[in-house]
């Protein structure tokens, strides 16, 4: 059963401000993307990366889209052999082999169409209206902060990514598109350490965590 890693890495990284696409920003001695690639290549039969305009292309390097979901769709289209697709953002360098394997196993078991890494929420979360007025406080016991990796039955993910341009632009992860077509998605508990690098402070934190891990 071909397991293919799909890495959206075509973001411009404007909030990071590194002057290069975020995936290429230096992080603990190597480009951010390399941390995730090393882990995925250890688990997957093949890894396809969606890259920013101007980056070199090849069989495993495709041109990304305007929005993240389009980048995922482009990378998946280059891997027709995929039976399980593991989508992982280049922006999460602290992913571990164990976490990828757990997501793949959860989908391979057959009960779920998708399995997503997630951590129980530790903050109190409120719904806030425009203007700052609190509408309601959500029950934290059922809230999970969702990350990547997200593993899917590839046929289901292909169907989900067939959504219209507006739905693709609005989606903040791939699981929500699978949920929208009636797919069954479950969570695989992960560590909050699996942070997403968005701003400079995240990059500093990721570097510290990666160095601390290397020192263990």
Task: Yes or no: say if 15 and 198 are a contact pair by the CB < 8 Å rule.
Answer: yes
Comparing CB distances to ligand C5P, the nearer of 20 and 67 is 67
Q: How far is the CB of 64 from ligand C5P (least distance, A)?
A: 4
Residue 198 lies near ligand C5P (rule: CB under 6 A): yes
Nearer to ligand C5P among residue 58 and residue 182 (C-beta): 58
Helices 97-108 and 32-43, interaxial angle, to 10°? 50
Rounded CA separation 44/59 (Å)? 16
Q: Which residue pairs, CB below 8 angstroms and at least 24 apart, start in 156-164?
A: 156/113, 156/114, 156/181, 156/183, 157/76, 157/85, 157/87, 157/114, 158/76, 161/69, 161/72, 161/73, 161/76, 163/69
Nearer to ligand C5P, 53 or 110 (CB): 53
What string marks each residue from 24 to 53 as x (binds ligand C5P by CB under 6 A) or -?
Answer: --------------------------x---
Nearer to ligand C5P, 11 or 114 (CB): 11
Judged by CB under 6 A, the residue of 18, 20, 67, 102 near ligand C5P is: 67
Considering only 17, 58, 66, 199, the residue that binds ligand C5P (CB under 6 A) is 66
């Amino acid at each position: 059963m071909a397991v293919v890693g799909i890495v959206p890495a075509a973001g411009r990284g404007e909030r990071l401000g590194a002057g290069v696409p975020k995936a290429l920003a230096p992080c603990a001695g190597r480009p951010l993307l390399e941390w995730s690639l090393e882990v995925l290549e250890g688990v997957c039969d093949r890894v396809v990366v969606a890259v920013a305009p101007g980056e070199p292309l090849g069989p495993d390097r495709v041109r990304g889209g305007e929005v993240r979901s389009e980048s995922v769709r482009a990378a998946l289209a280059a891997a027709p052999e995929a039976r399980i697709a593991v989508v992982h953002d280049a922006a999460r360098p602290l992913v571990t082999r164990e976490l990828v394997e757990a997501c793949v196993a959860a989908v391979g078991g057959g009960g779920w169409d998708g399995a997503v890494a997630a951590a129980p929420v530790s903050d109190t979360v409120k719904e806030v209206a425009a203007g700052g007025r609190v509408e309601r406080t959500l029950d934290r016991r059922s809230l999970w902060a969702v990350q990547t990796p997200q593993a899917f039955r590839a046929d289901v993910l292909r169907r989900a990514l067939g959504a219209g341009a507006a739905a693709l632009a609005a989606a903040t992860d791939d699981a929500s598109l699978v949920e929208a077509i009636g797919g069954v998605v479950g969570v695989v508990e992960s560590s909050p350490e699996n942070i997403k690098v968005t701003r400079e402070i995240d990059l500093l934190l990721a570097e510290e965590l990666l160095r601390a891990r290397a020192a263990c």
